[in-house]
Amino acid sequence: MNELISELQAIATPERAKTSAWFFKTGKGQYGEGDIFIGITTPQLRGICKKYQALPLNEIQVLLDDPIHEYRMAALMILVNQMKKAKGDTKRVIYEFYIKNLHNINNWDLVDCSARDIAGNYLFDKDRSILYDMAHSDHLWTQRVAIIASWYFINKQQYDDTLQIAEILLPHKHDLIHKAVGWMLREIWKKESAAGSKQNKVEQFLEKNIRNIPRTALRYCIEKMDDERRRYFMQLK
């Protein structure tokens, strides 16, 4: 782990750190308040993390507990790769470790790089009720994990959980949830459209919930529709 940290520190730049701190809203009262960046790009992180795929969970825990954002991101990248190769009880151990550390997964990029391939992966053939509990929580990042985890199911052509979780989250006040909901609805719409579905589940969802869906979620959702369909749903709103 010390070697990993040394490599990360060696390529960090103050200019990049400043840009990241602005982009991820680390100012007082913002969603990423207090987060610390040292200035490393995501491709750089991925390249370095490939060399540390065997890092044990106790060392990954140290990275996840660190206030530096890129260390937590590195930990999650390694954990995702371990999960993709894991079998049997090892998958359960990684999943439970991830859930135990939700408090450390505290910005949208950390959620988005991990929720699908860890939580979604593990829960695919299991009881998914925990995702509904997470959606009903009052913790922003836990709620985002709930909807993004369902992306794994979408890729397996299973849409019902995403639609139900999306409906739970429609009244949410934060645009990071609106964006996540719209994004996942768009992913379903793309799958349904590619399959030539005559009754697109997302379009039915929009018809039912158009008065309640936030504008940001709606715009994300309809982004790939043709002009006529986009105008139709925007006019309904």
Residue pLDDT, tens place only, 186-228: 999 999 999 988 889 999 999 999 999 999 999 999 999 999 9
Q: What is the residue type of 6?
A: S
Q: How far apart are CA 140 and CA 142, in angstroms?
A: 6
**Residue range 152-159: mean pLDDT, rounded:** 98
pLDDT of residue 197: 83
How high does pLDDT run on average in the chain? 96
Which CATH fold would you assign to the domain 1-126?
Leucine-rich Repeat Variant (1.25.10)
Q: Which of 145, 3, 5 is nearest to 72 (CA)?
A: 5
User: Quick check: 49 pLDDT over 90?
Assistant: yes
Q: What is the 3-state secondary structure (H, E, C) of the chain?
A: CHHHHHHHHHHCCHHHHHHHHHHCCCCCCCCCCCCECCCCCHHHHHHHHHHHCCCCHHHHHHHHCCCEHHHHHHHHHHHHHHHHHCCCHHHHHHHHHHHHCHHHCCCHHHHHCCHHHHHHHHHCCCCCHHHHHHHCCCCHHHHHHHHHHCHHHHCCCCCHHHHHHHHHHCCCCCHHHHHHHHHHHHHHHHHHHHCCCCCCHHHHHHHHHCCCCCHHHHHHHCCCCCHHHHHHHHHHC
User: Quick check: 232 pLDDT over 80?
Assistant: yes
Q: How confident is the model at residue 45 (pLDDT cuts 50, 70, 90)?
A: very high
The structure's pTM equals 0.95
Q: How far apart are CA 49 and CA 59, in angstroms?
A: 13
User: Quick check: 237 pLDDT over 80?
Assistant: no
The sign one gets for the Cα dihedral 164, 144, 116, 219 is positive
Q: How far apart are CA 86 and CA 230, in angstroms?
A: 42
Name the residue ranges covered by the structural domains of the chain.
1-126, 157-237
Q: What is the pLDDT of residues 160-185, one digit of tens each?
A: 999 999 999 999 999 999 999 999 99
